[in-house]
Amino acid sequence: MRVESLVLRVIESRTDMKYAVMPQAGMIKIEEKPVPPIEDDKVLINVKMCGICGTDTLIHKGILNVNFPYSPGHEYSGVVVDTGKKVSSIKIGDRVTVNPNHECGLCYFCRLGFPNHCENLKRPGIKSNGGFAEYVSVPEKIVYRIPDSISFRNATLIEPVSCVLHMIDEACIKPRDVVVIIGGGTMGLICLLLCGYYGARTIILSEPVEYKRALAKQLGAFLTCDPAKECLSSRVKETDLHGANLVLDNVGSSNTVFEGYKCLGKKGRLLISGLNSEKAEIPISVQDIVKNELTIKGVFLNPNTFSRSIELLGMKVFPWDNLFTHEIQLSEINRAFDISAEAKAVKILVNINERE
């Protein structure tokens, strides 16, 4: 569809767009509402694809608190169809994606260079209405152009890849490293791809779901482990007597964090990105931490990695398509969340453009 005709259609139908809404936890449905009005500093995007994130699933389950009714979705891509009069860097017809983490730039942590800890952080699709909608209106500063070499489908991975890049930055991977990845969902498998790219010697992935372990082997894991049947730390030390140099935990439960801790060798680093519903606590030995010079660290969001993520997606060196297991129409959004809740998928895409 030509850009001019798309803009005309949006202008003529400002009272008619479909979007997914959660009236309450455990319920999601399709409704109609007006297309958002365009404000001076905003960009109106016709959404093409939106991925379901684990955060969306936790909101649907009622584990993460939001204000209902609520429209989720923050991993999306689309085409700009209108811009406010103060917008200068984005134009109508641009193919774009959105960084959902919108820092203020003025608070104590922003001024220190830690935007992921912004005291006034806004997160469209997490703290406000999001991308499971035909149109979204967002501030220019969080909109990023994507090249033609990145499909709308693959562009939904830019945000999760940017979060993993932050984890990789903090991990300081060395070519000799033995790396353990806990969790074989989207984030764990992206970790696997990037750890290989950045030079890890041996990668071991722990995941209870068989088909995810098989996919991890296909994507380059040296060894996979079923934590429901095997002791991960024992398998790691059978592989390398000195233990793991690096453990990346994408789950964040008490069991996974403690097992990851037990995998570490001397000078080992444990990084935790998984947000779990439980208040995870683990018994650890301070003497072990001191004598073995261990590092235990949390990583949060994607500070200063979004543009690099776009570059990685555009390089065509990663098999991103292998991460997509389902593509579902917006009208079937309930089925998409059911599949996600049952751990029957890696990355689920919702196709927003049913009417085109």
Q: Which amino acid is at 236?
A: V
Among 15, 55, 83, 202, the one annotated catalytic: 55
Helix extents (H) in the chain: 3-12, 54-61, 108-112, 152-155, 158-171, 186-197, 210-218, 232-239, 254-263, 286-291, 306-314, 333-341
Instruction: Give yes or no for a cis peptide into 69 (omega within 30° of 0).
Output: yes
Signed CA dihedral, 208, 211, 212, 216: sign only: positive
The rounded distance, in Å, linking the Cα atoms of 180 and 23 is 40
Among 15, 60, 202, 256, the one annotated catalytic: 60
Active site residue 60: yes
Q: Give residue 44's Cα distance to chain centre.
A: 22
Q: Give residue 334's Cα distance to chain centre.
A: 20
Alpha-carbon distances, residue 262 vs 103, 190, 209, 279 (angstroms):
36, 23, 22, 20
Active site residue 55: yes
3-state secondary structure of 287: helix
The rounded distance, in Å, linking the Cα atoms of 352 and 9 is 16
The rounded distance, in Å, linking the Cα atoms of 188 and 164 is 9
Q: Which two tokens stand for residue 55?
A: 């955060």
Residue corresponding to tokens 């996600």? 340
Q: Which residues are known to be catalytic?
A: 55, 60
